[in-house]
């Protein structure tokens, strides 16, 4: 009554005019406030909530749009037709801003607690009933649906067995309010008459005894479930007067005897349908660090919180490049630990390929260059799903052999741009690693590079009139238009020039094992 009088004053509505109050708790969703004697908390009103007052027309009708046919299962509150802004007004409890409403209101009937429901055109399957979301109350709906589909508990409420066991005097309970409200909701859901119901009355009762669940903010589902189980247990506790019980130590007795004694003591103070279904005993063993005495206890529990199992492994796709220059890179799918390191990757790949793990170097190739060269102790978390990981087989152990050095080699081709007669070079093909002696000469290094690239190039014979020393092996039919030079049928030659110019990469150094930077050599 107080709220209605205040709103009438704001909108200058005469006292003789008939009005209706509505609670707007979601976009285009309204609920009538038809109990003048109810408190603000009972009505589910909170700070910042929007109220709508509707004034009856002169012709005795209410200002709502024409009714529209609905498809089976459609919501009563969706796609409401618009009406004139002057027909209804909104009142905000927080700042009392007056504004017009562009939505009509559903027709008014004598609503009960759960009458905001959608009757099916045909009989619905009992229990197959949704719960309307009151803002962000999906956490509550999930817990209710979980308990609703617990057959022993639902049958207990549907058969009205709870009425004989309601405990109105339990100081730890809610005077039976939670049990009665939950029972009414379960009966609606299992009546077979509705495709969904709105659990507003149940939420209001929960908010009365657990203020943390008031309002329409998102909450934790497990916390709500724990409160609901505890509330139902205390409201339905068959023990009216709880006796005092002196606990005894195990004293070396068998676990079965101690557990039975603990359960009997628990039932002397706690006995309800919740205990019958959900309660159990948890064994705890404590060992004194000084006297080594072992203490065994069995503690009751209503629920156990367990962590969700997390996947401990991941699958990586890598390419293995063998020392044999004529062998094509081979793709492998390797299962590695999620929190492992590069050594774990090499070990797993070694089991599949037969190549020793200490003869592998793991690299990340991007845009025809080495984006990164990994050390054995680096974490696998630095490798993303879309990275092109190439593992090179080498003839030495790079951590032990100090007489040889591993050089990354990238392929670069000179090209001339037509505009401004600008000359430059661009990367192409697949880079590779080569191990050479530290005291090697330029000619020997050149021959080693030719040997490593024999799949793609050939040396010139004395009878051939050429300007350079390297030629494309067109007769081999080698293609390299795949990712970073991987063979793909029907693609251009592997030595084909990359269209994009990459002048800035000519003098760039690549990472080494110690400094994550290594000089880049070009052919």
3-state secondary structure 97-142: CEEECCCCCCCCCCCCCCCCCEECCCCCCCCCCEECCCCCCHHHHH
Q: How far apart are CA 314 and CA 86, in angstroms?
A: 62
pLDDT of residue 420: 58
Question: What are 6-25's pLDDT values in tens digits?
Answer: 888 888 888 888 888 777 76
Would 110 be classed as within a structural domain?
no
Is residue 290 over pLDDT 90?
no
pLDDT attached to residue 479 = 40
Instruction: Verify that 378 and 510 share a domain, yes or no.
Output: yes
| pLDDT (average), residues 317-334 | 90
Residue 257 lies in a domain: no
CB distance 175 to 231 below 8 Å: no
pLDDT at 39: 66
Start-to-end CA distance of the chain, whole Å, equals: 90
Q: What pLDDT shows up at residue 155?
A: 92
Output the pLDDT for position 72: 32
Is residue 245 domain-resident? Answer: no
Residue labelled with tokens 């009458």: 115
Which of 41, 216, 219 is closest to 133 using CA atoms? 216
- pLDDT for res 46: 63
**Mean pLDDT of the residues in the chain:** 74
Between 91 and 253, the more confident residue is 253
Instruction: Give the integer Cα–Cα distance in Å for 475 and 494.
Output: 12
Reported confidence tier of residue 319, pLDDT bands at 50, 70, 90: very high
Question: Confidence band (pLDDT; 50, 70, 90) for 476?
Answer: very low
Calpha distance 427→503 (Å, rounded): 9
Do 215 and 326 lie in a common domain?
Answer: no
pLDDT in tens, 218-273: 888 999 999 999 999 999 999 888 888 887 877 778 888 889 999 999 998 998 99
- Do 360 and 327 have their domain in common? yes
On the question of pLDDT at 280 being above 50, the answer is: yes
- Per the CB < 8 A criterion, the answer to whether 178 and 210 are in contact is no
Confidence of residue 48 (pLDDT cuts 50, 70, 90): low
* 392 and 360 Cβ atoms separated by less than 8 Å: yes
For residue 90, list its beta bridge partners. Answer: 52, 99
Residue 463 in this model has a pLDDT that exceeds 80: no
- pLDDT value for 423: 57
Concatenating the DSSP letter of every residue in 223-247 gives HHHHHHHHHHHHHT-S-SSPPP---
Structural domain contains residue 520: yes
Average pLDDT over residues 152-164: 90
More confident residue, 334 or 30: 334
Element (H, E) at 85: none
In this structure, are 439 and 391 located in the same domain? yes
- CA-to-CA distance for 77 and 103, rounded, in angstroms? 10
For range 40-47, the mean pLDDT: 63
Q: Can you tell me the distance from the alpha carbon of 489 to that of 406, in angstroms, rounded to the nearest whole number? A: 31
Say whether both 93 and 145 belong to one domain. Answer: no
Residue where a domain stops, chosen among 42, 74, 100: 100
Residue 294 lies inside a defined structural domain of this protein = no
User: What domain range includes position 162?
Assistant: 118-235
271 lies in a domain?
no
Task: Tell me the pLDDT band of 29, cut-offs 50, 70 and 90.
Answer: low
Residue 315 confidence (pLDDT) above 50: yes
Kindly report which listed range (42-46, 91-95, 396-400) carries the lowest average pLDDT score. Answer: 91-95
What is residue 90's predicted lDDT score, i.e. its pLDDT? Answer: 43
**Token code pair at residue 473:** 């092996």
Instruction: Decide: 405 and 373 in contact? Cβ < 8 Å.
Output: no
Output the pLDDT for position 368: 87
- Please tell me whether residues 471 and 330 are part of one structural domain: yes
- Give the bridge partners for 31, in sequence order: 23
Q: Are residues 364 and 448 in the same domain?
A: yes
Would you place residue 102 in the very low, low, confident or very high pLDDT band (cuts 50, 70, 90)? very low
333 lies in the same domain as 397: yes
In the predicted structure, residue 106 carries a pLDDT above the cut 70:
no
> Within 268-341, where are the H helices?
273-278
Rounded mean pLDDT, 490-505: 39
CATH number where 196 lies = 3.90.70.10
Predicted local confidence at residue 274, as pLDDT: 92
The Cα–Cα gap between 331 and 320 comes to 6
Domain termination site, one of 50, 73, 100: 100
Residue 469 in this model has a pLDDT that exceeds 70? no
Whole-number CA gyration radius for the chain: 38
pTM above 0.85, yes or no: no
Judging by DSSP bridges, how do beta strands 521-522 and 404-416 pair with one another? parallel
Residues 385, 347 within the same domain: yes
Torsion on CA atoms 440, 446, 450, 451, rounded to nearest 10: -10
Nearest to 294 by CA among 302, 283, 305: 283
Say whether both 23 and 83 belong to one domain: yes
Report which of 491, 449, 485 is spatially closest to residue 470, judged by C-alpha positions: 449
Q: Examine the pLDDT at 84 and tell me if it is beyond 60.
A: no
**Residue 355 domain-assigned (yes or no):** yes
| Rounded CA separation 405/396 (Å) | 9
Domain CATH number, residue 359: 3.10.20.90
Q: Are 44 and 140 within one domain?
A: no
- Once rounded to an integer, what is the mean pLDDT over residues 349-353? 93
Residue 333 CA: distances (Å) to CA of 336, 350, 355, 374: 10, 12, 15, 19
Scanning the structure block, which residue is given the tokens 């309307």? 132
For the chain, the maximum distance between any two Cα atoms, rounded to a whole number of angstroms, is 116
The set of residues, in sequence order, having a beta carbon less than 8 Å from that of 504 and lying 6+ positions away, is none
Q: What is the mean pLDDT of residues 279-308?
A: 87
Write down which residue in 184, 218, 235 finishes a domain. 235
pLDDT at 53 > cutoff 70? yes
Kind of pairing, strands 194-197 and 130-131? parallel
Structure tokens at 427: 């990367």
In a domain, 68, yes or no: yes
- The residue length of the chain stands at 523
Residues 428 and 522 in one domain: yes
Pairing of strands 313-321, 404-416: unpaired
How many domains does one find in the chain?
Answer: 3
Q: What is the average per-residue pLDDT within 393-402? A: 77
DSSP state letter for 383: S
Average pLDDT over residues 457-484: 44
- DSSP secondary structure, 472-510, as one string: E-GGGT-B--SGGG---TT--BTTPPPSS--GGGSSPPB
Quick check: helix, strand or coil at residue 106? coil
């Amino acid at each position: 009554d107080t709220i209605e009088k205040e709103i009438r004053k704001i909108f200058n509505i005469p006292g003789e005019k008939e009005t209706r109050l509505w609670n707007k708790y979601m976009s285009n969703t309204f609920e009538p406030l038809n109990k003048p004697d109810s408190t603000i908390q009972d009505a589910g009103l909170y700070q910042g909530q929007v109220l709508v007052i509707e004034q009856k027309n002169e012709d005795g009708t209410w200002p709502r749009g024409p009714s529209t046919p609905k498809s089976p299962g459609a919501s009563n509150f969706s796609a409401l037709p618009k009406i004139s802004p002057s027909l209804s007004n909104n009142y905000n409890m927080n700042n009392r801003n007056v504004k017009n409403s562009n939505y009509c209101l559903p027709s008014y009937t004598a609503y009960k607690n759960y009458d905001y429901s959608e009757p099916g055109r045909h009989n619905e399957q009992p229990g197959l009933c949704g719960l309307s979301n009151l803002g962000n109350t999906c956490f509550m709906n999930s817990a209710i649906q979980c308990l609703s589909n617990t057959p022993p508990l639902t049958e207990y409420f549907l058969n009205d067995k709870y009425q004989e066991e309601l405990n109105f005097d339990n100081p730890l309970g809610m005077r039976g309010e939670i049990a009665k409200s939950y029972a009414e909701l379960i009966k609606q859901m299992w009546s077979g008459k509705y495709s969904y119901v709105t659990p507003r009355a149940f939420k209001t009762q929960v908010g009365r005894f657990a203020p943390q669940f008031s309002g329409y903010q998102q909450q934790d589902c497990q916390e709500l479930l724990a409160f609901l189980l505890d509330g139902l247990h205390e409201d339905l506790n068959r023990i009216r007067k709880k006796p005092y019980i002196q606990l005894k130590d195990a004293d070396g007795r068998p676990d079965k005897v101690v557990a039975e004694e603990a359960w009997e003591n628990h039932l002397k103070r706690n006995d309800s349908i919740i205990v019958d279904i959900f309660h159990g005993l948890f064994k705890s063993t404590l060992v004194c660090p000084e006297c080594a005495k072992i203490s065994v206890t069995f503690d009751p529990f209503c629920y156990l919180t367990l962590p969700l199992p997390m996947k401990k492994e991941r699958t990586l796709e890598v390419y293995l490049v063998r020392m044999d220059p004529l062998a094509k890179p081979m793709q492998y799918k390797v299962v590695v630990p999620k929190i492992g390191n590069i050594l774990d990757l090499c070990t797993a790949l070694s089991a599949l390929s037969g190549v020793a793990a200490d003869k592998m170097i793991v690299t990340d190739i991007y845009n025809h260059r080495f984006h990164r060269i990994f050390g054995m102790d680096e974490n696998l978390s630095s490798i993303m799903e879309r990275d092109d990981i190439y593992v090179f087989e080498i003839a030495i152990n790079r951590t032990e052999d100090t007489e040889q050095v591993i050089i990354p080699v990238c392929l670069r081709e000179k090209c001339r741009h037509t505009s401004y007669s600008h000359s430059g070079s661009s990367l192409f093909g697949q880079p590779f690693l080569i191990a050479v002696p530290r005291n090697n000469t330029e000619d020997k290094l050149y021959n080693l590079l030719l040997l490593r690239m024999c799949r793609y190039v050939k040396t010139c014979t004395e009878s051939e009139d050429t300007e350079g020393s390297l030629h494309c092996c067109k007769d081999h039919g080698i293609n390299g238009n795949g990712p970073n030079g991987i063979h793909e049928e029907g693609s251009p030659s592997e030595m084909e020039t990359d269209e994009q110019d990459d002048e800035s990469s000519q003098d760039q150094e690549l990472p080494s094992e110690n400094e994550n930077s290594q000089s880049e050599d070009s052919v």
